Amino acid sequence: MTSLDGRLLEPTNTDASRVSRPSHAGVGATRLTPAWLGGALAVTLGAVLVGALVGPAGLPAGDVVAELADAIPFVNVPSSLTEQQAAVLWMIRLPRVVLGLLVGAALAASGAAYQGVFRNPLADPYLLGAAAGAGLGATLAIVAGLNDLPAAVPAAAFAGAGVAVAATWAMGRTVGGRSITSVILAGVAVASFLTALQTFVQQRNVETLREVWSWILGSLATATWDDVVLILPWFAISLAGLLVHRRHLDVLSVGEEEAAGLGINAPRVRTVIVVAATAATAAAVAVSGLIGFVGIIVPHTIRLLAGGTYRRVLPLAVLGGGAFLVLADVLARLLMSPAELPIGVVTAFFGAPFFAVVLRRSTRAAA
């Protein structure tokens, strides 16, 4: 995003649109085929198994698989895990894996949705100030000493993200009417303001810096089933809203005139999609901290492999985003074992060069 005139924000020529514009070579080219769905499910299942097996306490792979299979209704597979090993699996590793699946799916699907709605291949889940708002909310909760209360920091982060996006949307609509560019620029302004407030609060309370930065860098290390329960309703409602509108995203990604010609109320549909994507992002940030680049890496990888239609991109982003974040969390555990890297560092390591490639392609197309 290097200019204020919308050239990178709203690419209009054919080459620029290839990044996020669907292929319409035929119905078969846009439908989510069993092969793609089965492959994505296999990758996700593999990531779950890796996440369940990797950790300081060695667990026998065969017994872990048997333990997981035994939990499936009407399946009876004996496991030789000890009581302590079963506790490690069910109370430590699986909550972490499941939370990683949900957070990754929410961030990837939200990124894909934002890219379609704003016709910007560089859009990510934090585009409208959600990250800055969540960071300020979490910082205020930690400074106030509420981090010992259950769900206090996640609730504050969720509220902060919601307020930030609401302020962005209101400012953008007030200043620029229906202009996509004005909403994005409003997000930049709101994010800068809230980040400045967060920095001020941190400097006034230096004793909490370690806790704040630990949250900001993102982590799944303290994941519990309570966190899963906290995010699950928001995840289910938001993802359902995005999936229902996946065909509309295909139309919006090529322009509002095309949408109007097909009888689609573009402003209403855009609002619904932005609300759904923002709710998913806020819920993810609330339980995991700020984990960047998932909403860039996963959707664009899927577009390169499976095509640009949102009939494929969104469902595959849900599965691929979860698998990606679970595997990134495994790397975070292994790279400095027995210590752990913040998962945000791992995703940034892969995401920064990936973002540079997407930016380079977009700049060339817009030139």
* Nearest residue to 123 via CA among 170, 192, 194, 183: 183
CATH assignment of 94-366?
A: 1.10.3470.10
Where are the domains positioned within the chain?
Answer: 94-366
Distances 240 to 98, 258, 309, 318 between C-alpha atoms, Å: 18, 24, 17, 11
Which pair of tokens denotes residue 64? 């872990």
Task: Report the predicted TM-score, pTM, of the whole model to 2 decimal places.
Answer: 0.85
What contacts 287, CB < 8 A, 6 or more positions away? 99, 103, 154, 223, 227, 230, 231
* pLDDT per residue rounded down to tens, the chain (367 residues): 433 333 333 333 333 334 334 334 344 457 788 999 999 999 999 999 999 998 887 788 888 888 888 888 888 888 888 889 999 999 999 999 999 999 999 999 999 999 988 888 888 888 889 889 999 999 999 999 887 787 888 889 899 998 998 999 888 878 766 677 888 889 899 999 999 999 999 989 988 888 888 888 888 988 899 889 988 998 999 999 999 999 888 888 777 777 777 778 888 888 899 899 989 998 898 889 889 999 999 999 999 999 889 999 999 999 999 999 999 999 998 888 788 889 999 999 998 888 888 878 777 766 5
Cis peptide before 95 (omega within 30 of 0): no
Which pair of tokens denotes residue 1? 């995003």
Quote the Cα angle for 159-160-162, to 5°. 65
What is the C-alpha to C-alpha distance for residues 127 and 111, in angstroms, rounded to an integer?
Answer: 9
